[in-house]
Amino acid sequence: MDLKGKKVRLHDMSLRDGMHAKRHQISLNQMVEVASAMDEAGMPLIEVTHGDGLGGASVNYGFPAHTDEEYLSAVVPKMKQAKVSALLLPGIGTVDHLKMAADCGVSTIRVATHCTEADVSQQHIGMASKMGMDTVGFLMMAHMASPEKILEQAQLMVSYGANCIYATDSAGYMLPDEVSSKIGLLRAELPANIEIGFHGHHNLGMGIANSLAAIDAGAARIDGSVAGLGAGAGNTPLEVFCAVLDRMDVETGVDLYKIMDVAEDLVVPLMDHPIRVDRDALTLGYAGVYSSFLLFAQRAAAKYGVQARDILVELGRRGTVGGQEDMIEDLALTMAKQKGKG
């Protein structure tokens, strides 16, 4: 693979996707400290919100240590060069949250829908675009639809005003060929001024390989997280990815040693548990299940005396999508009842 001379914009997820792994309990000081160090290392874009995006604070997804507004107001003014993004899932967050984020100085809004349901994003993409923000359409669980379907949904988001489209491997299920075909078709068919992005999870250990495949197929933005702090087995570990890109002569603008230090000195010590491809995270990738289900399935398994792996496989079989965390406890209760009978 020859990527020499290509330019890629890296987008850090450790303070948003990483919130899943931290049960949304990162403190304001920790947020500011990590974000400032990434800013210093040259990270161009950093996402900050509840793990489930603006308005995610809930019983269903977990109440965070602080509100989105508090996190954003603490981080944004401290940034010297980095821009801050916020995620929004229609059905969870609303345009009111979007306006709040814009008022806090967020410059990029990423509107996320399941990969076949892009038409719920019209209000939010339209508003962000009208406000002159960098507006990203984020198609989640992209392994669940064909490249043609992903393209059709991407075109809807572009028609609403998105200037960048992501194919998002929320389950960490994709293999490099699938990434190539999906990103490749988006790049071939969307207008040249629309950027393409890829967001990976490392559940099958494919974070780096898939992200390289995405760049090769035309992606200009790649998500990852420093030290891999993210849901499931985490996101593409950015310090590793930076080293790989450095060797492949791809330009990122990120200082490799500095980002290695952020990972080792600041982010790893934050972790409540090692972010790795353990049995349950592997199951997510293998069964194609939304990565943030991991800790919920483990908690429900412990509470109701069933196996997390069994819960996750069944959720995959049922075709659950992002946001259906409530079905985890429901299923565990049902499985426990059946076990009692058996």
Partner 1 sequence: MTQKLKAAIIGPGNIGTDLLMKMKRSDWIEPVWMVGIDPTSEGLKRAEEMGIKTTSEGVDGLAPHVIEDDIRIAFDATSAYVHAENSRKLNELGVIMVDLTPAAIGPFCVPPVNLADHARNLEMNVNMVTCGGQATVPMVAAVSRVQPVSYGEIIATVSSKSVGPGTRQNIDEFTRTTAGAVEKVGGAKQGKAIIIINPAEPPLMMRDTVHCLTEGEPDQAAITESVEQMVAEVQKYVPGYKLVNGPVFDGNRVSMFMEVEGLGDFLPKYAGNLDIMTAAALRTAEMFAEEVDKNVISLPARG
Residues 30, 42, 91, 189: which binds partner 1 (CB under 8 A)?
A: 91
- Residue 80 burial (C-beta neighbours within 10 Å; 0-12, 13-18, 19+): exposed
Q: Smallest gap, in angstroms, from Cβ of residue 316 to partner 1?
A: 11
Rank residues 9 and 50 by Cβ distance to partner 1 and give the closer one. 50
CA 258 to mean position of chain CA atoms: 23
Residues in contact with partner 1, counted by CB under 8 A, come to a total of 30
Q: Is the dihedral of CA 320, 326, 327, 332 positive or negative?
A: positive
Site map 107..146 versus partner 1, x via CB under 8 A: -------x-xx-xx-xx--------------------x--
* Torsional class of 167: left (φ above 0), alpha (ψ -120 to 50), beta (otherwise): beta
Residues 7, 130, 276, 318: which binds partner 1 (CB under 8 A)?
A: 318
Q: Smallest gap, in angstroms, from Cβ of residue 213 to partner 1?
A: 26
Site map 231..270 versus partner 1, x via CB under 8 A: ----------------------------------------
* Residues with catalytic roles: 20
Residues 18, 44, 53, 90: which binds partner 1 (CB under 8 A)?
A: 90
Site residues (CB under 8 A) for partner 1, limited to 48-67: 58-60
* Torsional class of 232: left (φ above 0), alpha (ψ -120 to 50), beta (otherwise): left
Give the separation between CA 213 and CA 179, rounded to whole angstroms.
6
- Paired strand residues for 225: 237
Instruction: Give the CB-side neighbour count of residue 263, counting CA atoms within 13 A.
Output: 27
Rank residues 264 and 326 by Cβ distance to partner 1 and give the closer one. 326
Rank residues 120 and 188 by Cβ distance to partner 1 and give the closer one. 120
Helices (H), the chain: 17-21, 28-41, 68-75, 95-103, 122-130, 147-160, 176-189, 207-216, 238-247, 256-261, 279-287, 293-304, 308-317, 326-341
Footprint of partner 1 (CB under 8 A): 58-60, 90-92, 94-96, 114, 116-117, 119-120, 122-123, 144, 318-324, 326-327, 329-330, 333-334
